[in-house]
Amino acid sequence: MAVGLGVNDFIACCGSTKFAEQMVADGPFDTYDKAVVAAKNIWFNKVDVHGWLEAFAAHPQIGQNPSSVANKSSTSVQWSKGEQSTALATATDSSLQYKQKFGFVFLICASGRSTPEILAELKRRFSNRPIVEFEIAAQEQMKITELRLQKLFSNVDVTKAEEGRVTILGGHLTAPSIPTRVRPPITTHVLDIARGCPAGGIEVLLEMYTSQKSGPVFGQSGDDMWTFQGSSATDKDGRSGQLMKIVNELTPGVYRISFNTGKYNPDGFFPFVSIVFEVKASQKMEHFHVPLLLSPFSFSTYRGS
> Quick one: average pLDDT of 194-220?
82
Predicted confidence band of residue 163 (pLDDT cuts 50, 70, 90): very low
Predicted local confidence at residue 77, as pLDDT: 53
For a pLDDT cut of 90, what percent of the chain falls above it? Answer: 24
Least-confidence region, from 112-116, 258-262, 284-288, 294-298: 112-116
Predicted local confidence at residue 299, as pLDDT: 82
| Phi, psi (deg, nearest 5) at residue 82 | -70, -40
Instruction: Cite the active site residues.
Output: 59
> Quick one: average pLDDT of 57-80?
60
CA distance 109 to 148: 11
Output the pTM of the full model.
0.53
Predicted local confidence at residue 42, as pLDDT: 92
Top pLDDT among 164 and 137 is at 137
Predicted local confidence at residue 238, as pLDDT: 87
Predicted local confidence at residue 73, as pLDDT: 59
Work out the burial of residue 182: count CB atoms within 10 Å of its CB; fewer than 13 is exposed, 13-18 middle, 19 or more buried: middle
pLDDT score of 141 more than 70: yes
**Alpha carbon of residue 296 to chain centroid:** 25
Predicted local confidence at residue 74, as pLDDT: 56
Predicted local confidence at residue 222, as pLDDT: 64
pLDDT score of 67 more than 80: no
* Mean pLDDT value across the chain: 79
DSSP state of 165: H
Name the H helices within the chain: 7-13, 17-26, 32-45, 49-57, 74-83, 92-102, 115-126, 130-152, 158-169, 261-264
> Quick one: average pLDDT of 30-54?
89
For a pLDDT cut of 70, what percent of the chain falls above it? Answer: 75
pLDDT score of 178 more than 60: no
Least-confidence region, from 126-135, 163-172, 228-237: 163-172
In DSSP terms, 232 is beta-bridged to 204
Predicted local confidence at residue 285, as pLDDT: 87
Predicted confidence band of residue 130 (pLDDT cuts 50, 70, 90): confident
pLDDT digits 0-9 by tens, 211-262: 766 667 776 666 668 889 899 999 888 888 788 888 888 999 999 999 999 9
Predicted local confidence at residue 86, as pLDDT: 45
The answer to whether 6 and 24 are in contact (CB under 8 A) is yes
> Quick one: average pLDDT of 130-148?
89
